[in-house]
Structure 1
Amino acid sequence: MKKVAVIGATGFVGSHIVKELVDRGYQVEAVVRDASKVQQNDKVSAKGLDVNNVDELAESLKGNDAVISAFNAGWTNPNLYQDFLTGSENIEKAVEKSGVKRLIVVGGAGSLYTPDHVQLVDTPDFPAEIKPGATAARDYLNKIKENKTLDWTFFSPAIEMHQGTAGVRVGKYRTSSDTPVFDESGRSVLSVEDVAVALVDELEQNNHIRARFTAAY
């Protein structure tokens, strides 16, 4: 596998995925809204596309060995729930239409389960400001589970991805399927750099085909 398309390549997570892929010797096609924001070179090319234009996106994705979607409809978007769900569904359709088999989707931690079998997004203390996006990611996970064509993987980051260890690439982590991974102090933490490591490791190892997984230290 040599060429990977990254959707949302200039975002918080997407930019780190691009770096990790390039560092491991991959060719990257950055699929973004505005291609001028991508620093292109011999390893990274860019295409400015609307993910909701399924035909155009599918054509762009042809020839890639895999697609990693770090699509985000914008945390301050008043229509975040519907825009995330629609965009994610259209990306899935475009990947199918392109003929690429491997799709890795970055979702949220909100669909992970507590020990009481309640999804985090449904707990009373879940942050209201990110609930629409987290709910959309949860609902999309339920949808992609129906896909029997693609070799898809859905990744839920640790509960604390933005805190604690930002800027650190440890290169090691522990995984789980549907429940958060906690450290000895009861925290679920993973830097965005190691989110990228976990995603590219999954790309190379195919440990979670047609399944969801999460990772933390």
Structure 2
Amino acid sequence: MKVLVLGATGNIGGHILAEALARGHELTALIREASKADTLPAGVKAVIGDINTLEANNDVFRHQDVVIAAIRPPQGQEQKLVEMTDKLLKATDKHNVRLVLSGGAGGLLSPKADQRRLTDDPDYVGSGWKAIAIACAEQLTHCQESAFSHWTYLAPAAFIGGTEKRGQFRLGTDTLIVDEKGQSKISLPDLATAVVDEVEVPQFKGTCFTIAY
């Protein structure tokens, strides 16, 4: 498949790029700085641009099967995430291209009995992460309330980290997945696996899914 990745030079995006490349997909990375092209793996085509140059990059979108976006606004500008996502939804719809968003857990429900929004549960969203968690919750809501259905949103575990690839994890929909200790974790490679699995065999078109061990 022809896949365009946004956020490919970031931690999450880089792992997604590597997983898709290992599976033989034809990859293009939309990057802001030409100097970062040399950091991309061999076999990945680099195109210079960002969310604000989508119209100028029309030709790139037109030739893709799927766009994967692992995007985050700069710290302190979290409120821009919805605007960025709206532009992506419209650009991909225009060219009839699927959009898979690697988002955040903020829009999920807490696994506790009261099922409050995760952003209101300090056990999973501390003060240092609350701004981006709220932005991710709003990002998911924007997708759900839009007129579009060509998107998929991955709301991952509360904690993402580590480079161990277990190859096994649990899938869910609207509620954070936790283990027997109440912890919610996923490694970077396994998150990437879940994203590329969804690219290859769509199970959650027009909706959200979550993953954790």
Q: Report the TM-score when normalising by structure 2.
A: 0.91
Q: How far, CA to CA, are the matches of 1:29 and 1:14 in structure 2?
A: 12
Q: Which structure 2 residue ranges, 5 or more long, are not aligned?
A: none
Partner of 2:55: 55
Deviation string for 1:70-122 (max 9, x for gaps)?
Answer: 01113xx22222x222212112121122331x111011111111231211112
Q: How far, CA to CA, are the matches of 2:62 and 2:149 in structure 1?
A: 14
Pairs within 5 Å for 1:36-75 = 36-38=35-37, 39-40=39-40, 43-74=43-74
2:177 is aligned with 1:177: no
User: Structure 1's 57 and 89: CA in aligned 2 closer, same or farther, altered over 3 A?
Assistant: farther
Q: Cα distance, 1:124 vs. partner? A: 4.1
DSSP 3-state at the match of 1:168:
coil
2:92 is aligned with 1:95: yes
Q: Cα distance, 1:185 vs. partner? A: 2.4
Partner of 1:198: 194
Contact residue 167 and residue 193 of structure 1 kept, 8 A: yes
Contact residue 154 and residue 212 of structure 1 kept, 8 A: yes
| Residue identity matched to 1:213 | F
Q: How far, CA to CA, are the matches of 1:117 and 1:186 in structure 2?
A: 14
| Residue identity matched to 1:34 | E
Partner of 1:85: 82
Partner of 2:10: 11
DSSP 3-state at the match of 1:105:
strand
Q: How far, CA to CA, are the matches of 1:79 and 1:42 in structure 2?
A: 33
Aligned equivalent of 1:123, options 121, 126, 131: 121
Q: Report the TM-score when normalising by structure 1.
A: 0.89
Q: How far, CA to CA, are the matches of 1:123 and 1:58 in structure 2?
A: 41
Contact residue 158 and residue 215 of structure 1 kept, 8 A: yes
Identity %: 34
Q: Cα distance, 1:154 vs. partner? A: 0.5
Q: How far, CA to CA, are the matches of 1:108 and 1:179 in structure 2?
A: 13
Q: How far, CA to CA, are the matches of 1:35 and 1:155 in structure 2?
A: 28
Q: How far, CA to CA, are the matches of 1:36 and 1:93 in structure 2?
A: 28
DSSP 3-state at the match of 1:169:
coil
Q: How far, CA to CA, are the matches of 2:40 and 2:105 in structure 1?
A: 31
Q: Which structure 1 residue ranges, 5 or more long, are not aligned?
A: none
Deviation string for 1:22-60 (max 9, x for gaps)?
Answer: 000011110121132134566200112120233124332
Q: How far, CA to CA, are the matches of 1:18 and 1:103 in structure 2?
A: 15
Partner of 2:34: 35
User: Structure 1's 124 and 194: CA in aligned 2 closer, same or farther, altered over 3 A?
Assistant: closer
Q: CA RMSD in A?
A: 1.7
Deviation string for 1:115-166 (max 9, x for gaps)?
Answer: 312111122453222222211111121111134444211001101113xxx0
2:133 is aligned with 1:134: yes
DSSP 3-state at the match of 2:109:
coil
Q: Cα distance, 1:187 vs. partner? A: 1.2
With 117-126 and 20-29 compared, the bigger mean Cα shift is at: 117-126
Q: How far, CA to CA, are the matches of 1:137 and 1:40 in structure 2?
A: 27
Contact residue 165 and residue 190 of structure 2 kept, 8 A: yes
